[in-house]
Amino acid sequence: MIFKIFKKELKETLRDKRTMIMMVVIPMLVFPLLINVVTSISGSFEDSAEEKKIKIGIIGDTSDYLAQKLYDIPSSFGPKEVVAYAGDSSQMLNDYRNEKLDILLFYEPNIQKKLDANEKAIVKWTLDKTKIGNQGRAKSYMQIIEAEARFLRYDALGIDEEALKPFEVIYENSASEQQMIGELAGGFLPYIFIAFGFMGCMYPAIDLFTGEKERGTIETLLSTPVHRWKILVGKMLVIILSGLMAAFSALLGLFLSIQYLDMVPDVKLIEVISTILTPTFIIKLFFLLLPLTIFFAGVMVPVSVYTKTFKEAQSIIAPMNIVVILPAMVGLFPGIELNIATACVPILNIVLTTKSLIAGNVDYLLFALSFAVMLILAGVAVLFSFRQFGKESNVLS
Amino acid sequence: MIKVEKLTKEFTRSKAQKKELNTNENITTAVENVSFTCNPGEVFSLLGPNGAGKTTTLRMISTIIQPTSGEVEICGIDAIQFPREARMKIGFLTGSTGLYARLNANEIIDYFASLYNVPKALLKERKAYLYDLLDMKGFAHKKIGKLSTGMKQKVSICRTMIHDPEVLIFDEPTSGLDVITAESIIKLIRSCKEQGKTVIFSSHIMGEVDLLSDRLAIIHNGVLKHHGTMTDFRSEMKDKSLTQAFINIVQS
């Protein structure tokens, strides 16, 4: 009998455009859109920063040592123009404030003499760090000029540069690429799956309970010889499936954007993500999402049973999204790790366990603990749903 | 057969309801000690103004809600002890019944037949009979959302009758319907009576009651004010019209 209810409710749900958009279309589009937007924005910023002609203001003359050195830097390091102010610092500052200049370069007037005397010369770059590319360009110019000056000085002093290096230091990263991704972006993936799992449950929950009350079909259903708990379970299964379907659509969107839509330019990143998205990982992920989705359904059903209109149900359930997102967001912070304490915090435990799964360093005892905590909560939520659905005042208007 | 004995239903008032009614009383009695019997092959009318307790009484008989006290027997089955067994015998239809708009008529009929465990062969037979009787063949595969009110009502009737129930409960079945659609309900009630089924229906339209009823009960403020045969009611009434007689009983 549960299957009969489930089959009918699923058929109706699949015919509801609004639910299908929330369950399949939006989750499937989110990753391709996110990746597209992020790569195209960052790519266009990088391109424009590289191609941008930087105007460097100097207080001296174009024949000065640093001005000459700047001219000597090949244009492959980025186009530039040196504007000399011949001692008129107020005009130069004024032009900088009016954004006619990008960078200001200050140096001592006797810089050439100081360098010749093997003394230290002070050089100051003034730039706006909020403007992408300016700092990078100034640093790269200075590195070239400094390297040349250092080489000349070592040569003049007859010093072997290598002899001044007492150590050859190597900092080796023992973390694998997979662990790095797990730590840096691992929290983001479960966050998306959880958010869509919640959204995927929302519309069917409202439609199958409040909607049935609103349309006047619940009374007829309750007059049939079907156990009330079977009606509840049949409907809840559709809600749970919708939540999992939304999470799966998001995962499918991610897979498609990486494998077929050629959206990620970094080949190594594609390789690492492909090694993460194995069938075993997906099974483990959905194993974790299952009690969480049951919990979502168990929380939404009592609200949907209690409320009288679709609008009223939506106005209560939609803000609950924040309650779900907050613990999921904690999982995004670096340094928050899965341990006995965090494994007992609902939602956060699922984010952190998934993060460990992505990084490939999951502790299966903590995995089991997280699963058990969510399962107990899901059970409590379902029992609460059953009690609310059994109340005459909630079901009938 | 329906046998109702000292049926009472009390509801607990919510805080909002108490505030609205300006009362401190937690309990409201919707139906109080109502007793009557409906026999097979007989149409029983439950009359009463709005809020009299008709719907609550019919909901208790159809086991959708549980009585606070009293007994309900459906075809010899204790409906309070064995509600699901009783529901197998009942066909329930209300005037405000909705249908699943995203399914077509045929899918709805199949769904309800499956909930009543109607065997496939019998379902085929019942569908052929009811589709023909209700002239439903032309729209059986159309989505409910695209049907007219009259067509929807026919689907609701078909849904109510698909498992061939022995007892039919109609809660204001003609409410909000046009004369032609209401006529199809009246025909159905008559046909059920001819087939020897037990029919109970609630209404506040005296014309319908006069046309169909063998027996009637008048309920007001949850209390049964009159109970007897239609013939006795007609002969005992002092007023010219049935409506006036009904009003007088309610106001007495």
ipTM of this complex prediction, to 2 decimal places: 0.86
Question: How close does chain A come to B51, measured CA to CA in Å?
Answer: 13
List of E strands, A14-162 = 54-58, 80-84, 103-107, 123-127
Q: Which is it for strands B215-220 and B223-229: parallel, antiparallel or unpaired?
A: antiparallel
φ, ψ of residue A48 to 5 degrees: the values are: -70, -35
Residue to mutate among A224, A310, A392, with most B CBs inside 10 A, is A224
Mutation target among A208, A209, A217, A220 for the B interface, most CBs of B within 10 A: A220
- Check: CB of residue A347 under 8 Å from CB of residue A295: no
- What pLDDT does residue A395 have? 67
Strands B167-171 and B2-12: unpaired
Spell out the residues 6+ positions from residue B214 whose beta carbon is closer than 8 angstroms to its own: B42, B43, B44, B193, B229, B230
For residue A285, what are the contacts with CB-CB under 8 A and spacing of at least 6?
A: A190, A193, A251, A354, A357
Cβ-defined contact of A220 to B115 (cutoff 8 Å): no
Q: From B85, which residue of chain A is nearest by alpha-carbon distance?
A: A225
Interface mutation target, options A209, A223, A229, A306, chain B, most CBs of B under 10 Å = A223
Across the interface, whether the CB atoms of A1 and B88 are under 8 A apart is answered: no
Q: Taking CB atoms and an 8 Å cutoff, what residues of chain A touch B100?
A: 8, 12, 215, 217
Torsion sign across C-alpha atoms B227, B228, B230, B233: negative
Residues of chain A where predicted confidence (pLDDT) is lower than 70: 42-43, 45-47, 49, 183-187, 261-266, 268-269, 395, 397
CA distances from A198 to A208, A236, A243, A380 (A): 16, 14, 6, 18
Alpha-carbon gap, residue A387 to A298, rounded angstroms: 11
Residues in A lying within 8 Å of B, measured between beta carbons: 1, 4, 8, 11-12, 15-16, 215-217, 219-220, 222-227, 392-393, 396
CB contact under 8 A, A223 and B116: no
- Residues from chain A that touch B11, judged by Cβ atoms under 8 A, are 393
Residue segments in chain B with a per-residue pLDDT below the cut of 50: none
**What's the pLDDT score for residue A230?**
92
Indicate the SS3 state at residue B136: coil
CA dist A184 and A187 (Å) reads: 8
How close is the nearest chain B Cα to the Cα of A222, in Å? 6
Residues from chain B that touch A4, judged by Cβ atoms under 8 A, are: 111, 114-115
Q: Using CB atoms, which residue from A4, A8, A217 is nearest to B98?
A: A217
Please answer yes or no on whether A219 and B97 come within 8 Å at the CB atom: yes
B84·A226 Cβ contact <8 A: yes
What does the pLDDT read at residue B109?
93
**Residue A392 and residue B65: Cβ atoms within 8 Å?**
yes
Give the 3-state secondary structure of residue B8.
Answer: strand
The shortest CB-CB distance from A225 to any of B84, B97, B159 is to B84
Interface test with A, best of B17, B65, B100, B161 (most A CBs within 10 A): B100
Instruction: Give the global pTM.
Output: 0.78
pLDDT of residue A187: 67
Chain B hits for A217, Cβ within 8 Å: 97-100
Whole-number pLDDT of residue A317? 87
CB contact under 8 A, B97 and A220: yes
| B84 neighbourhood in chain A, CB within 8 Å | 225-227
